[in-house]
Structure 1
C-alpha cells in the first residue's frame, strides 16, 4: 500500500511544476531567451528535481522552452512569423476536422450541442459594450465550440493533434480575441462564420466546411496582426512578453 503513495506524490508534483512553470513563462516572470536553472526552479517551486525535469520536457514538447546544445533549457522566443504559422497550423487541422465531420456525418447530438453553444454566444454578443463577465463567457463558449468540431469529426488522431497544437503559444482559438472595447464587430463576424461552418457540416458539404473553417483561421490571423501592433491589446495576451519585437523602421 505505502509504495503507491510516493508515485502519486511524484505525479502530483510533476503536474504542479508543469502548471506553475507554464504560468511563470506566460506571465513573463521567466523571460524569452532566459536559461532555466534546475536548481533555481527546484527552490522556487518547492519540488524535487525529477518533477522539474519532467515539466521542462513537457514544455519543450509544447514549444514554450527549447533544449540547449550543452544541456538544459531556455525560454523560447517567438516572432510574428511564428504566430502566423501557429494559427495556420491550427486552421489546417480545424479545416480537416470540419471536412471529416461533414463527409462522415456528424452525430445529431453533437450538432445540437454546437447549436446550443452558438445560442449562448449570440446571447453574449447582445451585450454592448461587452462586460468582463460576458467577454469571459465568449472565450469559454468559443473554446468549447472549436473543441466540439473535433468530436464531430470522430477522429481521435485529429483531436489529439489539435490538443497538442492548441498548447502552442498564440495558437489556441481565443489567443487573439481583441480587447473588449474593440471586439464586438470582429466577434460578430466570427460568430457568423461559426454558423456557416455548422450549416455546411449539417448539409454534409465537406469542401465548403473546410474552406469556411480555414477562412475563420485567417480572421484570427488578422486579429493577431492587429494585436501585435497595438500595445493595449498586446498587453492583454498571455505570453506576449515572449515575442521578439521588430526594431522600428
Structure 2
C-alpha cells in the first residue's frame, strides 16, 4: 500500500484551470503508482485518451510536473519520467527539515496564534488515537498520514511569514520530500509503529517548544525530526527492487543514475551578437 497526500488539492477558478489541475493530479498519480515507467517518454495522445481531457491541459500539466521535478524535458521535444538519485531525495528531505526548523523557530520567537496551536494539538490527538492500536491496518495508516500532513501544514503557517510558507510549499512538492512520503513504505516493517511513536513524541516536543517561546529548541527538534525521513529513505532503498513500492522505483543509487543529456540541461542559446568578453575562436 502506498499513500500520497496531494499538496495541490485546491479548487481552480475556471474550467481551463480545473482541467489542467485534474490532468496534473492524475498524471502525478500515474507516475508515483508506477504506471509510467522510469525514463519512459510521455505520449500526449495516450494521456488525452487515458485522462479524458484535451491536449491543452495535458501540456500545462506536463510543464507543471517538469517544474516539480517529476518529468524531464527531452532535447527533441516532449517529456520523460525522471529517475532520481538517492542523494537528490536525501537533499530534498534535508532542505525540508532546515526550512521547517526555521519556521518553528520564527513561530516560537514571534508567538504562534493560540488557534493554530490548538488545531495542531488536535491533529496530534488524532495521531495518538491511531497509535493506540497495537497493529495498524491500511485505514489506520491513511488516518496517520492525513493527520501528519495536517500537523506539518499547520506548523508551516505558524511563523506568520508568507516567504517561509511559500518556500516550504515548494519544497514539499519536490519528489519524495513531503513529511509522509516514505512513512507508508515502511508500513509492514516490524518496527514501523515504534518509529511512529518516536516521531509523535517529537511532534509533541516541538509544539511544546513553540508554545513556550523556545525557538532554538523548536528548530533543533524539527531538524532532528527530518532524520526519521532520511532513515525511512535508506530502509526503503534497502528493500529488494521487486518488493519496493512503485514510486520508490524512481529512486536509484548514485552510481546507477544515468547521465542527463547535455541538451536537456543546457541553458538556451541566445541569438544575436556575441558578448564582448566571449572567447573568439
1:189 to 2:198 alignment: yes
* Whole-angstrom distance in 1 between the partners of 2:236 and 2:252: 14
Which residue number corresponds to residue 187 of structure 2?
A: 179
Which residue number corresponds to residue 3 of structure 1?
A: none
1:55-84 deviation digits (Å, cap 9, x = unpaired): 011001111101123322111101211220
2:236–2:248 Cα contact (<8 Å) kept:
no
1:115-130 residue pairs with structure 2 within 5 A?
115-130=121-136
1:75-97 deviation digits (Å, cap 9, x = unpaired): 11012112201111111111111
1:131–1:180 Cα contact (<8 Å) kept:
no
- 2:104 pairs with one of 98, 101, 121: 98
Structure exhibiting the larger radius of gyration computed from Cα positions: 2
- 1:55 pairs with one of 55, 61, 67: 61
Question: Structure 1: which 5+ residue stretches go unaligned?
Answer: 1-6
Higher helix share: 1
CA RMSD of aligned residues (A): 2.0
* Whole-angstrom distance in 1 between the partners of 2:241 and 2:43: 32
In the TM superposition, what is the alpha-carbon distance from 1:104 to its structure 2 partner?
A: 0.6
1:2-81 residue pairs with structure 2 within 5 A?
8-81=14-87
1:226 to 2:229 alignment: no
1:108-147 residue pairs with structure 2 within 5 A?
108-147=114-153
Matched residue count: 240
* Whole-angstrom distance in 1 between the partners of 2:31 and 2:178: 16
What is the TM-score of this pair, normalised by structure 1?
0.89
In the TM superposition, what is the alpha-carbon distance from 1:233 to its structure 2 partner?
A: 11
* Whole-angstrom distance in 2 between the partners of 1:141 and 1:94: 17
User: SS state of the match for residue 36, structure 2?
Assistant: coil
1:157 to 2:163 alignment: yes
Cα distance, 1:234–1:150 mapped onto 2, change above 3 Å: farther
- 2:225 pairs with one of 211, 216, 221: 216
1:106–1:201 Cα contact (<8 Å) kept:
yes
Cα distance, 1:75–1:111 mapped onto 2, change above 3 Å: same
What is the TM-score of this pair, normalised by structure 2?
0.79
* Whole-angstrom distance in 2 between the partners of 1:115 and 1:44: 42
1:161-205 deviation digits (Å, cap 9, x = unpaired): 222221222111011112145311100100111111111111111
